[in-house]
Amino acid sequence: MKKIIEIKNLSFYYGKQQILDNISAEFAASAITAITGPSGSGKSTFLMTINRLWEELNGATMSGRVSLFLDHEKLDIYGRDVSLSWLRRKVGMVFQIPNPLPMSIYRNLALPLRMAGLPKENFGQKVETALKQAFLWPEVKDRLRDDARTLSGGQQQRLCIARAMILEPAILLLDEPTSSLDEKAAREIESLLLTLKDQCTQLMVSHDQAQVKRVADEVMEMVAGRMS
């Protein structure tokens, strides 16, 4: 098994409350690892330590080490020389509730490319590829200028996955990506995630045991801030 994420002695506090308790774990590359566990056990917080998104919250502190294996090199993501923007482009994230930005479908996908400073000429092609990859192209190809919020919930979530994937991340963090969707839309997302497995490693928080059985290669359980 080729590992891509290595966690050592990870503890996390929000104020005085301990959320994660001395977690050490490794995650395999090109696999879907499901993280399950009761509400409030620290699953979403755990995901946020891998792209350092928790640093945007006030009053949170962390100790321990998170390393990624990218391009045959081990990288401590909390090291001084790691740029936050670069890290978050390598580690994409999709949230529980679809969060398209209040702009057109096209601009939702072009924005990450623009922020990464990529040449504008390739945007059209990249947007089309990302939408095709997310099985969204046939549904939106004639309405790329429409506000992304006019899409259905399932379409919005597929757009958010396409948006995260457009920067070709090595890792995709999924925080209960289907919990706000109906059964049909959830199944579509699951199929999409399975097709993306070869392109990036996925860590998915899920409460749905049936879903975990259907898509996960590995399952880790988190209880009261500890992982097993």
Partner 1 sequence: MKSHVKRQARGSRALFFSATVVGGVLTLSIFAFMVILGLPLFSTHSLTLLLTQKWAPDQGLYGIFSFICGTCAVVSLSLLVAFPLSLGNAILIHLIAPRRLARFLHQVVKMMTGIPTVIYGFVGIFFLVPLVREWFSRGSGMSILSAALLLALLISPTMILVFLESFAAIPVSHIRALEALGGTRRQKLVHVILPGARTGIMTGLLLASGRALGDTMIALMVAGNATAQPESLLDSVRTLTAHIALVMAADFDSIEFKTIFACGIILYLWTAILTLSLRHLHFNSTKPSHDQSF
* Residues of this chain that bind partner 1 (CB under 8 A): 51, 53, 56, 58, 84-89, 92-93, 95, 97, 99-104, 106-107, 110-112, 115-116, 144-147, 149-150, 160, 163-164, 167
CB of 20 to partner 1, least distance (A): 19
Of 105 and 189, which has the nearer Cβ to partner 1?
A: 105
CA-to-CA dists, residue 154 to 96, 118, 135, 160, 161, angstroms: 12, 28, 11, 10, 11
CB of 28 to partner 1, least distance (A): 23
CB of 54 to partner 1, least distance (A): 11
**Cβ partners under 8 Å of residue 53, min gap 6:** 47, 88, 93
Of 122 and 191, which has the nearer Cβ to partner 1?
A: 122
CB of 9 to partner 1, least distance (A): 25
Q: Alpha-carbon distance 53 to 36, whole Å?
A: 20
Of 3 and 149, which has the nearer Cβ to partner 1?
A: 149
DSSP state string for 18-57: EEEEEEEEEEETTSEEEEE--TTSSHHHHHHHHTTGGGGS
User: Tokens 């696999």 appear where?
Assistant: 31
Of 90 and 190, which has the nearer Cβ to partner 1?
A: 90
Residue 82: what residue type? Answer: V
